[in-house]
Structure 1
Amino acid sequence: MAAGRKAGIVAAANALDIVPPPPSTLDKYAKRIWREIMPDLVERKVLTAADMPGLRNFCIAMGTVERLGRAIRKMGDGFDPALYRAQDKAMTTARQIGDQYGLSPTSRSRPSIRDTGDDNDELDAKGFG
């Protein structure tokens, strides 16, 4: 698969206009993340109902990072390397999911791909349509 520039984040035509409450299945750490990110995402009009499972997974991953970080700090010098590996995996997962929703400065700065409604506009303008 060829590497290339990722598509940017653009406003959705059927974007949510209210901040939904966090799913009841999230733990307290994941709910805190939900409450932190959702107002901005709703304001930017980039979320639809179809995005909710992905955002739930982002919050679960970030909550896992927080929970594992607390466990590691509590253990002090007697840490378990498996906790670091699990935390690293959760961080990677959260970053990958978060990039899809513009949750990092890098993903927000990418050029946007806009849907004009007609996939053939450019070809028509060049006489190929």
Structure 2
Amino acid sequence: MSHHTRGRKADPKPADNAIRKVPKSPAYFSDAAKAEWKRIMPILVERRVLSPADLHAAERFCDAAGDIAAARTAIASDGAYINDRHGEMKRHPAYATLREATAESRRWAAELGLTPASRSRVTAEAETNDDDDDSPLAV
């Protein structure tokens, strides 16, 4: 385990230029990644924690979800153990992908406030009423 990933993560806070509408998922996404995008993006948009610059993090999280689904499908299809080129039984290579994608997913989930611990730190402010812009204090 790398030392730079340990410890407390930055608290996700409402972004000043938060995305207000769920953007379309990237075209290259697998079906599983698109499904994850559709699941998490409304949550993140509602919490106002994503700016346009943060979309990369959400994309990587969904990519990892797609990789997890593909690895599980390969293992389910081929079995947990397969014969290698020498005819010896070996654990399916998709387990390495599954392990790496799961770790990647966990890291991005924490950054996005999608884990129970990180979600408890999210302090998104309530939506302000558009009529408040007419107040003398509005900038």
TM-score (norm 2): 0.73
Q: 1:9 aligns with which of 5, 9, 12?
A: 12
Distance 2:112 2:122 in 1: 14
Post-superposition Cα deviations, 1:18-46, rounded to whole Å, max 9, x if no partner, equal: 01010111111111110000000000000
- C-alpha displacement of 1:110: 3.2
**Hey, what does 1:83 align to over in structure 2?**
94
Distance 1:90 1:4, change over 3 A: closer
CA 1:66 to 1:45, structure 2 compared with 1: closer, same or farther past 3 Å? same
Secondary structure (helix, strand or coil) at the match of 1:89 reads helix
The letter for the 2-side match of 1:101 is L
CA RMSD of aligned residues (A): 2.0
Aligned to 2:104: 93
For 1:15, the aligned partner's letter is A
Distance 1:111 1:78 in 2: 42
Q: Pick one of 25, 29, 33 that aligns with 1:30.
A: 33
Write out aligned runs for 1:13-92 (5 A). Answer: 13-79=16-82, 80-92=91-103
Matched, 1:103 2:114: yes
The answer as to whether partners of 1:12 and 1:47 remain within 8 angstroms in 2 is: yes
Note the residue ranges of structure 1 that are not aligned, 5 or more in a row: 113-129
Question: Aligned in 2, Cα 1:111/1:30: closer, same or farther, shift over 3 Å?
Answer: closer
Q: Compare the two structures and name the one with the higher strand fraction.
A: 2
Q: Distance in 2 between matches of 1:12 and 1:78?
A: 46
Alpha-carbon distance, 1:12 to partner: 0.8
- Post-superposition shift, 1:91? 0.4
C-alpha distance in structure 2 between counterparts of 1:105 and 1:9, whole Å: 13
Higher RCO, 1 vs 2 (CA within 8 Å, ≥6 residues apart) = 1
Q: TM-score, normalised by structure 1?
A: 0.78
* Number of matched pairs: 112
Residues 49 and 69 (structure 1), Cα distance of their counterparts in 2 relative to 1, 3 Å cut: same
Identical counterparts, % of pairs: 37
What amino acid maps onto 2:52 in structure 1? A
